[in-house]
Amino acid sequence: MYAEELRRARRVVVKVGTSLVTHPNGRLHQGRLEMLVRQLSDLHAAGLEPVLVTSGAVGAGIGRLGAEGRPASLTEKQAFAAVGQGLLMHSYEKLFAEYGVTVAQILLTREDLEHPERRANARATMQLLLEWRVLPIVNENDTVTSEEIRVGDNDTLSARVAVLVDADLLIILSDVDGLFPADPRSRPDLEVLSVVEELSEELWSAAGGAGTPGGTGGMRTKLEAAAICQERGIPMVIASGHRQGVLTEILSGEVPGTLFRWPHGTARRRGG
Ligand SMILES: Nc1ncnc2c1ncn2[C@@H]1O[C@H](COP(=O)(O)OP(=O)(O)O)[C@@H](O)[C@H]1O
Ligand SMILES: N[C@@H](CCC(=O)OP(=O)(O)O)C(=O)O
């Protein structure tokens, strides 16, 4: 029955992490970007309304400037993001243009999503772009975000965007096959959890930190994203972006990862 809901999904938010779109040294991974853009373009051509939430600005900035390891301060991170965001958009714009898909850049902060007027503006703009068949590409507006106004990670940002645009589904693509009972770096013997219906204490303690220098939050922020989706009854999937055709697979009802579904009395509420 759940496969049917996945097959019917039209408005789909897809989040890609730093671990996927950049090499470990921070250079953009053109092969993966191409694979992703091809799949999103196919969904777009099939009449769906994909929205992309992409990380990678900080990572790509680190790659371009040749810095090593994690940026030390918030300001350093913001400066890397200012360099990397342009690189990211340049690649997306070029790749989507090959498939005739027009894209738009949306940079948001937590403040934008919480302030009633700014939120309404962001919602109306995204709505209109989708009506125009433009594919919105979202990231946090890293260069202006202080601790007080930033979302801080793109997993929860993507869940907030899914709520903002009344999405039917959120798909988080990462460098792992889904949520495991423990961090697969330390326990490679475990199998991925295929369905999660409740965010239990056990799951929260299983969720470890980020796997890459540019990444933020690891599985913990992905569970926080699931909690936001749960409130609105939006199903969510964590899967590997390394898998060929992963988006088509999910949208045809087969989930090669972890499906978060909310069967117990979570009525779907709309209205951003
Ligand atoms: N329970 C878990 N299941 C799966 N991955 C986990 C878990 N705990 C920690 N991780 C780590 O989370 C990483 C993915 O998060 P992150 O590095 O932030 O990636 P992304 O850039 O895609 O958001 C994985 O590479 C993995 O090492
Ligand atoms: N806004 C940041 C993304 C931070 C983030 O959440 O990264 P990730 O954990 O890789 O999704 C950037 O573009 O680098």
Tally of CA atoms within 13 A in the half-sphere of 142 that contains its CB = 27
Residue 32 reports pLDDT greater than 90: yes
Q: In this predicted structure, what is the pLDDT of residue 69?
A: 63
Which strand (E) or helix (H) includes residue 83?
helix 74-98
- Would 267 be classed as within a structural domain? no
Distance 156 CA to ligand 2 centre (A): 10
Structure tokens belonging to residue 34: 């191409």
- Would 269 be classed as within a structural domain? no
Cβ neighbours around 114 below 10 Å, total: 12
- Would 268 be classed as within a structural domain? no
Query: Is ligand 1 within 6 A of the CB of residue 211?
Result: yes
Query: Is ligand 2 within 6 A of the CB of residue 140?
Result: yes
pLDDT in tens, 102-124: 999 999 999 999 999 999 999 99
DSSP labels, 103-162:
EEEEEE-HHHHHSHHHHHHHHHHHHHHHHTT-EEEEEE-GGG--TTT---SHHHHHHHHH
25-39, 87-101, 205-219: which has the minimum mean pLDDT?
205-219
One-letter amino acid for residue 217 of the chain: G
pLDDT band with cut points at 50, 70 and 90 for residue 240: very high
| Torsion sign (Cα): 235, 212, 221, 184 | positive
Query: What pTM, to 2 d.p., does this model score?
Result: 0.95
Q: In this predicted structure, what is the pLDDT of residue 47?
A: 97
Q: Could you tell me which residues are annotated as the binding site for substrate?
A: 55, 142, 154
Residue 214 reports pLDDT greater than 60: no
Report the CATH number at residue 163: 3.40.1160.10
Structure tokens belonging to residue 177: 């096959």
Q: For the chain, what is the domain count?
A: 1
Best probe residue, ligand 1, of 20, 28, 185, 187 (max atoms within 8 Å of C-beta): 185
CA neighbor of 153 nearest in space, from 229, 218, 216? 216
Instruction: Supply the residue whose CA is at minimum distance from atom 15 of ligand 1.
Output: 218
pLDDT in tens, 35-55: 999 999 999 999 999 999 999
User: How would you classify the pairing of strands 103-108 and 169-174?
Assistant: unpaired
One-letter amino acid for residue 224 of the chain: E
- Would 199 be classed as within a structural domain? yes
Residues of the chain with pLDDT > 70, as a percent, come to 92
- Would 271 be classed as within a structural domain? no
Residue 144 reports pLDDT greater than 60: yes
Nearest-atom index, ligand 2, CA of 19: 10
- Would 26 be classed as within a structural domain? yes
DSSP labels, 214-266:
S--SHHHHHHHHHHHHHHHT--EEEEETTSTTHHHHHHTT--SEEEE--TTT-
Distance 208 CA to ligand 1 centre (A): 7
- This model of the complex carries an ipTM of 0.97
> Which residue's entry shows tokens 């779907």?
268
- Would 265 be classed as within a structural domain? no
Residues forming beta bridges with residue 104, ordered by sequence position: 136
Nearest-atom index, ligand 2, CA of 139: 1
Residue 70 reports pLDDT greater than 80: no
Range of the domain at 167: 2-260
- Would 270 be classed as within a structural domain? no
Query: Is ligand 2 within 6 A of the CB of residue 184?
Result: no
Distance 131 CA to ligand 1 centre (A): 34
Q: Give dist(CA 219, CA 202) in Å, integer.
A: 13
Angle CA 47–55–181, to nearest 5: 95
Q: In this predicted structure, what is the pLDDT of residue 266?
A: 58
pLDDT in tens, 73-105: 889 989 999 999 999 999 999 999 999 999 999
